Each structure stands twice: as C-alpha cells, then as structure tokens.
Amino acid sequence: MANALRDKIAGGGLVTLMAAHNPLSARLAEEAGFDGIWASGFELSAAYGLPDASLLSFTQHLDMTRAIIEQVTVPLVADLDTGYGNAINVGHVVGAYARAGSAAVVIEDKTFPKDTSLLPGARQELVRVAEFQGKIEAACEAGAGHDLLVIARTEALIADLGAPPMPRLAPTSSSFIRSRGRRTRSSPLPSAGPARFRSSSCRPPIPT
C-alpha cells in the first residue's frame, strides 16, 4: 500500500484523502472514490467520546487503524499526533503501524500531551526543532523496512509563530512536510518556499 500512495503522489496530480474513524466510514470513503484514508486522531478520539488531547491510548488507536486497513483496499495514512512521547516512543509506535499495513504516518511538533489545534485559546506549545528532527528520524528508521511514508507536520502557524520553520526541518529524511494553519480567504497559508528539500509540501484540507 505504501508504494501505491507513493506512486500516486509522485505522479504530480492531486491525491485526495478522506478522514475516517472506523471501518464503515472508511469503506464509504473508498466507495466515494477517494484515493486513501486519513485515520484522523481527532475523529478517532471523538468516536470514543474523548477530546483531541492525547487521551486515546496507543493500543486503542492502533486497533481501530488495523481494523480499518483490513476493510479497505486504498492506502491509509495514520495520524499519530505527537507520536506518544519522545524519539524512543516514536520508533516503537511507528514500527507497529508499519507492520499493521499503514501507508504513511503523520507526526506533529507539539508537546505531549497536546491540545487540539481547533480549540480557541488552547495551549499550543511546540517542541524544540532538534527534538522534532530526532522524532522524525526515528519514525523514518522504524518504517524503512516497510516503505513507509513519514509526514512531518508543523503547527507553527497555529502557535502564532509565523511561517513554519521548514528549512530547519530539511535535514531530516521525512517524506513530506505538512504546514497546518487557520486558512481564511484573506490569509492563505504561506508557500513552503523553494523546492530545495527532499520533502514536499502536504496540506490536507480536513480538520485533524
């Protein structure tokens, strides 16, 4: 599945992913013609009646993700929030999702536990860039044997820190860099800048 997602993205066209929180919603998304499934941390938390604040356990999240993968034929991207801790935690967690059949994982640069990006006035604290680089490197190493794509997600805009520090993330071996912000008609997200990274810019339009 990872190769299928990689090939779609490499083709240069638009790749559409739909958020899902269980096998039924994922199958509906597949039948609707989406290219893949986004196993949204926000939606999975909501399905358990919990806020998007790192309350869902790793096992709960993985079990539901595995159940979704078993019921669809399109690639799945697992939204892992902050990766459940430091680089050591990330390596353990990402390895499990790779073995479960995920095509890609997303790791964001917030502190653990996190507050959802959608909550006005919430705590939006980011880890040091060097720490985030270490977490992304750990994710890439854990998924290397499974051709897993790794998406590095920065919340710099959400945290009102200005343009995301994408050039500072460039030394990592992430497959993509996702810039997350509050998009409006008058203030679009800034460009990722010159394409001098090994990474590409990834901006899913769905709230996660």
- Residue 166 dihedral angles phi and psi, to the nearest 5°: -60, -40
Distance CA 169, CA 174 (A): 9
pLDDT number for residue 195: 31
- From residue 17, how far is each of 26, 161, 170 by CA, in Å? 10, 28, 25
Q: Which helix (H) or strand (E) holds 176?
A: strand 176-179
Residues 52-110 have pLDDT tens digits of 888 889 999 999 999 999 999 999 999 999 999 999 999 999 999 999 999 999 998 88
Sites in the chain below the pLDDT cut of 70: 1-2, 115-123, 156-208
**Which two three-digit tokens encode residue 29?**
């998304």
pLDDT number for residue 89: 95
Three-state SS for 171? coil
The pTM of the full predicted model, rounded to 2 decimals, is 0.79
- From residue 87, how far is each of 92, 93, 158 by CA, in Å? 9, 10, 23
Q: Which residues are catalytic?
A: 52
Distance CA 85, CA 115 (A): 14
pLDDT number for residue 23: 97
pLDDT number for residue 132: 92
Burial of 184 (0-12, 13-18, 19+ CB in 10 A): exposed
**Which two three-digit tokens encode residue 97?**
């999702």
Please provide the CATH number assigned to the domain covering 2-201. Answer: 3.20.20.60
CA 121 to chain CA mean position, Å: 23
pLDDT number for residue 114: 74
pLDDT number for residue 191: 39
Say whether the peptide bond before residue 113 is cis (omega within 30 degrees of 0).
yes
pLDDT number for residue 11: 85
- Residue 178 dihedral angles phi and psi, to the nearest 5°: -105, 125
Three-state SS for 2? helix
